[in-house]
Structure 1
Amino acid sequence: MRRADRLFQIVQHLRGGRLTTAADLAERLEVSPRTIYRDVADLMANGVPIDGEAGLGYMMRDGYDLPPLMFTRAEVTALVAGARLIRAWGGAAMALGAENALDKIETILPADALQKARSVHVYAIAPDGMNDVLRRRLDAMEEHIAASERLELSYRDKTGAPTERIVRPLGVWFWGQVWTLVAWCELRNDFRMFRVDRVEEMSVQGRFDAESGKTLSDFLTCEVDKMPNFERGGAPHETVR
């Protein structure tokens, strides 16, 4: 959980007007009591009216609420359109997350912003190739990237030739037509891009640690500026060599 999300959750738990201990908050948010002490101290220093102290518990004075989210028309359009695109083109968990995010946004927007959100006429329709297998694969890749887990891929290139690779997954990129996995290929000892719809099987091969020269930032520095492996205006050429 991001720290900003955790601070928001602390405020929500304390709004009930009951004395709540740091241990209870720590258990709910799956962090240490020391983290809660630090977070509550920061909230109090920034004017959130929390009473109490470490070892006794905390409670919030009545009448405090978080200010409503304020968005411009362009920001609301971007949020709604982006969520709809992910719902149509993303993984299964991504699509559900986008749906839930739209519901949450609507519940906290003030009336004028809510009207803006409901008047956004940007839509996306999932293509025939966006099936459940591909959606689950995207979700799994995102999880493996977040966990820094090496993957063994069974893959077919654009000619249909099979190949087996062990890679360090770094990111998934959407090109308007296809998703690609950006990875460090241990066979080629270089960066490679794999079309997600051509991955036939994948399995976890243990964790990896970030190494200089093998990170997503290194890929961006080395590859994107030169653009040698991309079709401008379309999907990338495969870099499975």
Structure 2
Amino acid sequence: MRRSERLTEIVEIIKDGRLHLARDIAEALEVSERTVYRDIATLIASGVPVEGERGVGYLLREPVFLPPLALSMTELEALSLGMSIVQEVADEELRLGARTLHEKIASHAPNRRKSPGSWGFGLYEFKRVRDGLKFMPILRRAIREREVLLVIYHSLSDECSERMIRPLQTDYWGRVWTLSTWCETREDFRAFRIDRILGCKTTGRTFEDEPGKTIEDYLKHVQPTADTH
């Protein structure tokens, strides 16, 4: 069983609101308890509201519910296509989210369409896009939590530098991902190609929105480009 499939199975097991011991989850999935602990940590880091601790058990207390929606077939096709693309071009945590969302939508769709192919779309691996995505979870979390990051960047001009940045937004250009930031090192906006980030770690600092340093300011005054420095 692939890790993404295992993460999905764990969510399915613990979503009933009851405590589940790691050893029971491990037995159900035929893996070690250590593997379950690592997978639980991955789910929590990706924003899944898992509660509990070792020796006590785990549960999913706060599933996200949407109000009843009436979607047309075209809207369902658009949603299915988007989720299928995310499963090809994003990091493992987002691929997990796209997969479980796809399963939930498909279970209520007309004719119960279970697979991406049943919607009439054929998608194949975007290898180039996946290069460098190992830092995407920390980047997405830093954007949500407004965390200052220290990154090591290898520019297109073959120069390496350390930058203290405020991550504002990730952008997908069809072949590469970029990160729009306020760079504290340069005291200006900068966009970095994510596949050229060599190192990334949190600093323990957070930031607040300041006039002239927000994503709205960046988009207003800077023309974004995928072929960044």
Which residue does the alignment assign to 1:218? Answer: 217
What letter is aligned with 1:140? I
Task: Say if 1:91 and 1:134, in contact at 8 Å, map to a contact too.
Answer: no
Which residue does the alignment assign to 1:78? Answer: 78
What letter is aligned with 1:81? L
- C-alpha offsets along residues 53-98 of structure 1, whole Å, 9 cap, x if unaligned? xxxxxxxxxxxxx85x421222111100000000000111000100
- C-alpha offsets along residues 18-37 of structure 1, whole Å, 9 cap, x if unaligned? xxxxxxxxx9449xxxxxxx
- Aligned pair partner of 1:139 in 115, 137, 140: 137
- Would you say how many aligned residue pairs link Structure 1 and Structure 2? 168
Q: Which runs of 5+ in 1 are unaligned?
A: 1-11, 14-26, 31-65, 231-235
Which has the higher mean CA deviation after the structures are superposed, 139-148 or 69-78?
A: 69-78
Task: Say if 2:189 and 2:218, in contact at 8 Å, map to a contact too.
Answer: yes
Structural mapping, 1:123-134, within 5 Å: 123-131=122-130, 134=132
Which residue does the alignment assign to 2:49? Answer: none
Task: Say if 2:129 and 2:176, in contact at 8 Å, map to a contact too.
Answer: no
Which residue does the alignment assign to 1:209? Answer: 208
Which residue does the alignment assign to 1:183? Answer: 181
How high is the TM-score relative to the length of structure 1? 0.62
How high is the TM-score relative to the length of structure 2? 0.65
Which residue does the alignment assign to 1:171? Answer: 169
Which residue does the alignment assign to 1:106? Answer: 106
* Distance of aligned partners of 1:151 and 1:70 in 2 relative to their CA distance in 1, 3 Å threshold: same
Which residue does the alignment assign to 2:94? Answer: 94
Which residue does the alignment assign to 1:237? Answer: 227
Task: Say if 1:171 and 1:181, in contact at 8 Å, map to a contact too.
Answer: yes
* Distance of aligned partners of 1:29 and 1:98 in 2 relative to their CA distance in 1, 3 Å threshold: closer
Which residue does the alignment assign to 1:157? Answer: 155
What letter is aligned with 2:77? T
Provide the C-alpha distance between the structure 2 equivalents of 1:118 and 1:128, rounded to a whole number of angstroms.
20
Q: Which runs of 5+ in 2 are unaligned?
A: 1-15, 18-59
Task: Say if 2:90 and 2:133, in contact at 8 Å, map to a contact too.
Answer: yes
Which residue does the alignment assign to 1:199? Answer: 197
Bigger Rg, which one: 1
